[in-house]
Structure formats: structure tokens, C-alpha cells
Structure 1
Amino acid sequence: MNDINPSDLSLLPILEALIEERHVSRAALRLNRSQPAVSHALARLRDLFDDPLLVRGEGGLQPTARALQLAEPLAQALALVRTMIEQPAFDPLQCSRHFRLSLSDYGAAILLPRLVAQLRKSAPLIDLTVVSYGRERALAALVDGEIDLALGVYPALAQVRYKALASALLFEESFACLYDEAALPGPLSLERYLAAPHVRVTVALEDDSEIDEALARLGHKRRIAVQLPHWSAAPETVRGTDLVLTAARRSIQHLGTGGLRCGDLPFDLASFPFVQTWHRRREMDPAHRWLRDHIAGIVSATNAESLP
């Protein structure tokens, strides 16, 4: 047998078709190739195996003893390769997987209840572990394979060091501020906003705040009187105090009752993308892709319900 080049491996499915069809034209039709191309491949195969492989006989081409010897191991090898390449049909009801997600309190509040409820119906064998990592740690954990999916606000995704991560926009969010009207009656001017003490929510101390960056560009700085790692605890810290909480609008707009007011910011601040992001090595994983699509569907349905 002569030396095989990597490109010669593509000839093996042609040999399989020729042995089974025993006819160059039928093999070409089966492979969606031209007859001259299959004839040329057969010539190369004969050279590689140092055997005619197929010879003319009664009723067409007949496999030689060498070809018959090759038939079974060839079929097994190609079947194994096809099994590796061809993904089986994905059935969420039969999928037994454990996914690790990073979500902030805010993300968990708006997504997790519906996601868990739907998974219990559509994919009851899928298990979730939810962690709450800071922005930088979440992206690093995706790169390292520590988690499967991160959902949140990740400005650093544009950096070259995270080029291995893919992402998809779930929705655009804006900021609003929540405060107690008894202590701070009426809408807040920029002067009153800056004079008030503030609550800041951040999971990691090193995470940048879009609010403070925007104020710095305007030449201002607010006083952070209370810093918390949990969104869920923050709204109640402003009740009965002169504190102001600036947060994602979806997380606080429903709280603007009972003495609390949810108002617009007294300065311009661009909206920001809330995304789901994952490592590109998970791109074609059927279960991972199904979970991402499911999350996107939940967000789309939630957005539709919130429209007037």
C-alpha cells in the first residue's frame, strides 16, 4: 500500500459507494459527483491500495478479494466518523445536563422564575446552578469553562482578550432613580441629585459604574453612602431615608408606589445592552443552543407583555 496523504481520506466514501453500487455512474449519482471525478478517484484508490479493487465482470464491476476484505472495516470506520459529525436530534425532554449560569440579583429577578418554570415542563432533567459573579469574573469564568452562560451587562466584551466569547442582545435597558418622596419631594434636579447620599449596588468592588463614569465626564461626583452586593435589598434602604438608588429601570419601576418615587435621571445617560454571552466552543452544542434560544424567547415574551 502506498503512502496516504490527508486529502486521500476523502476518497474513502467513494470507495464505499463503488463497492456497494458496483457501477461508476450509480456511485457518482449517489455521491452527487461527476462520473469522470469518480473514475479519477477510483484510479487513485487503485494506486493507494496497489489493487484493482473493482474489475469488469458479468453484470458490471465486481469487487476484488482485497475490496471485499476492506468493505466491513471501511463501513465501520465511516459510520463512526458520521456519528461524530452528525448531531442526533435534540430532545429537551430526554436531555440530562447541568448548566452553570452567572446572573446578578437583577437578572435573576426578571428571568429566573420563568426560566425555571419552563424548564420544569420542557426539560425536567436539566439542572441549573446559578452564581452571581462580578462582570470581569463572569467573563473570565466563561473563558476558563467554569460556567456555561453569563447574563448581564458586560462592556468588556469588546476587548480583544474576550474574542473567544460570543454574545446575543436580550434587551436594551435604561437607568432610573428611586427615592422616598417624604425626604426628597418632587422630581430631582441635578443639583439635588448630587447633594443627596446614594446607594450603589455592585457585586464586585472593581466593577465600573456607568453612572459614576457619566457623572465624571460632566465634572461631577456623587457620594456613595451605602454600597450593597444585592439588588433585592437596595430598594428598601431608601424608604424612610434621604438616600437615592440609581438602578436599571426594570428592577425598580414597579416600586414607585407607597411613598417611593421612580423618576428619570437629571442628566443624560445612554441605554445599555443586557446580553447573554458564552464561549464559542459551546456554539454548536445542541443543548446549550436550545437553552440560549429558550432564554431569548422568555425575554421576547416578557417584552411583548410589557408593551401598552
Structure 2
Amino acid sequence: MDELHRIDLNLLLTLHALLAEKHVTRAALRLNKSQPAVSHALAQLRTQFDDPLLVRQGGRMVLTARAQGLERPLEDALASLNGLLSASDFDPSLTHRRFRLSLSDYASRLVLPPLVRHVRGEAPGLDLAISQASREAILAQLSDGELDLALGVFPHAPEDLEVQDLFEEGFVSLADKAVLPAKGDLLLEDWLQRPHITLAMRPDANDEIETALAARGLRRRLAVTLPHWSAAVDLLEGTDLVLTVAGRAVGPMRRHRTLRKFTPPLDLPRFAYQQAWHVRRANDPAHRWLREAVLMCSQPGRSQNSPVRAT
């Protein structure tokens, strides 16, 4: 807090414009200030940060390493401050924002359709940019500010991230009926001997199933590893493969009449499917509205075609 007393907050707005424009005159136009006033502010900022911030190189101004390191924290700080000041009069129908989300095709199928309908109805100026990555990459991107929100399973999220449970999930196994016992399901020994399909963004990733197996000193053969939830079920028909996935990923079995769904012969704990964001986004009213919308649209029983209404 002592550092805040040493700097005029208006200087931070000038710094933000200078970092974005990399040019004193353009920053002055952006701020609706005179060029001498912005030049004077730049001199103060250079003293404050003990760094030139902008230097001339090859006929143009470029950011120093110190200035580059200030870009993201300053952007986040100003966004949070703006959120605090505008929280009382936030209107989703008037907002114009673009949020970057990470969703697997599992979440894209379950949550995204009702979420998009809700956003289009309540906040049509809010844009969603969807990407997909491994759990480790997602956590890094949230911390670095490259993502605004992520859906997934985050049992060991770092302290700078906030995590909210959306719903509880459990595992089911599937296989072609032709390679299953006529009565009953596979025993553990038979289940382990079968070739398996596993879902992972990286071939060497360890998920909750591998963790549970390792705790018992067991292993299974991973015959196919792929990141596409929606394609995995289609690989089973006419093969001896077994797929064990989150239950809501399977959906109705009407399209897969040759397959049978059964309980895995292994004690696999249920888990929470979650949304995660960086603490810097916590007080942003638009971000909070989006999180609440994701929570509402994630509730079990919400079909892809059911309407979503604000409560």
C-alpha cells in the first residue's frame, strides 16, 4: 500500500497508453492530452520505475524488458479497478467483451450449447473464444493471463487460481457387446487384460484412472490415446477395445446399439468437474456474470436444446 501513495493513478493510465501505442504522440491522442503533458508523465514514470520504459531503436520506439514485464500486470490491475468501479451498474446486455475459455470437447458438448444460447439472449455483445489444452498448459495460461476461464478437473490448482465445482462426475466403461460376457460385466482381471482407449491431450499424461491403478500396483494396456471425447465412443464398435470415461460424456446409447455400458470393476472415486480462473478476475463484473452463467448451464439435466433463462 505504501507504493500506491508514491504514484498518481493517472500516471498508470498514461503508462497503459504508452505501452499499448509505443509512441508519445499516439498515446496523447488516445488519452486526449497534449504531447508535452504525456512526455512529462513519461519522465515521471521513468523515475518511478527506474527504467527508460521506451527507447528508440531503428527509427522507432520499443519497450524495454521492464516495460514488457509491466504490460500484463498493468492490464489486469486496471481491469480489476474498472470492475470495482462499474460493478454496481453492470448490465450484461450492454457489455462488449471477448473472453478466452478453455474447454475440452466433453465440456463443449455438455455446457457450451446452453451457454451460447444464454449469452446470445442476455449478453449479445459478449464474445467467446474457445481453445483446448492439457491440464498443465491450462493452469499456466490462466496464471499468465492467456485464458480468462477454464473448465476441467483441477485437483491441485495453484494458490493464485480460484476453483468452483460445477457438478459431480463418475466413471463408466463401454465395449462392444460382442466381446463382453453374455451375462454380467468384465471382472477386473479381464478388464485389465483388454486393450483400452484413453482420453488425454498428451500420450504420456496420467489421469484419475491411471492414478487409481498405480495406487493398487496395477497397469492396463493403452492401445489408443486421443484427445477427442466425441470420437472415442465411435472407435469401439467391431473391436475388443474398452473405454472408461466420465459418465456424462457418453450420453444416450441410442446411437450405439452395439455397445454396452457397465460399471468399471475398479473402485474409481467420483470427482468434481470445475471451472477455474485467476484471482485477478474475481471482481470483474462481466467475468462474474460469465462464471454464474457457466454454473447455471452446467447443471445435470440441462439438455442441449432446453432453454436457459436467467434466475
User: TM-score when scaled to structure 1?
Assistant: 0.68
Q: 1:221 to 1:124 in 2, by over 3 A?
A: same
Which structure has the larger Rg over C-alpha atoms? 1
Aligned residue number for residue 266 of structure 2: 267
Aligned-partner residue type, residue 148 of structure 1: D
Q: Deviations over 1:153-201 (max 9, x none)?
A: 11221xxxx1010011101111111110112234111011011100011
Aligned-partner residue type, residue 214 of structure 2: A
Structure 2 Cα separation of the partners of residues 300 and 228 of structure 1: 27
Deviation, 1:302, is 3.3
Q: How does 1:63-82 map to 2 (within 5 A)?
A: none
8 Å Cα contact 1:200/1:246 also seen in 2: yes
Aligned-partner residue type, residue 100 of structure 2: R
Structure 1 Cα separation of the partners of residues 109 and 206 of structure 2: 22
8 Å Cα contact 1:135/1:207 also seen in 2: no
1:145 correspondence with 2:165: no
Q: Deviations over 1:211-267 (max 9, x none)?
A: 112112222110011111111110011111000001001111523751111110101
Helix, strand or coil for the counterpart of 1:98? strand
How many residue pairs end up in the alignment? 223
8 Å Cα contact 1:214/1:269 also seen in 2: yes
Structure 2 Cα separation of the partners of residues 206 and 229 of structure 1: 12
Aligned residue number for residue 174 of structure 2: 178
Aligned residue number for residue 198 of structure 1: 196
Structure 2 Cα separation of the partners of residues 172 and 201 of structure 1: 19
Aligned-partner residue type, residue 275 of structure 1: Q
Superposed CA RMSD in Å reads: 2.4
Structure 2 Cα separation of the partners of residues 221 and 83 of structure 1: 49
Pick aligned residue for 1:166 from 149, 158, 162: 162
Deviation, 1:300, is 2.9
Structure 2 Cα separation of the partners of residues 303 and 120 of structure 1: 17
1:99 correspondence with 2:95: no
Helix, strand or coil for the counterpart of 1:226? strand
8 Å Cα contact 1:149/1:276 also seen in 2: yes
Aligned residue number for residue 235 of structure 1: 233
8 Å Cα contact 1:148/1:278 also seen in 2: yes
Aligned residue number for residue 60 of structure 1: none
Aligned residue number for residue 19 of structure 1: none
Aligned-partner residue type, residue 128 of structure 2: L
Helix, strand or coil for the counterpart of 2:89? coil
Aligned-partner residue type, residue 220 of structure 1: L
8 Å Cα contact 1:253/1:262 also seen in 2: no
Structure 1 Cα separation of the partners of residues 204 and 258 of structure 2: 33
Instruction: Report percent identity of matched pairs.
Output: 44
Deviation, 1:88, is 4.5
Aligned residue number for residue 284 of structure 1: 283
1:188 correspondence with 2:179: no
Helix, strand or coil for the counterpart of 1:100? strand
Helix, strand or coil for the counterpart of 1:156? coil
Deviation, 1:207, is 3.1
Aligned residue number for residue 45 of structure 1: none
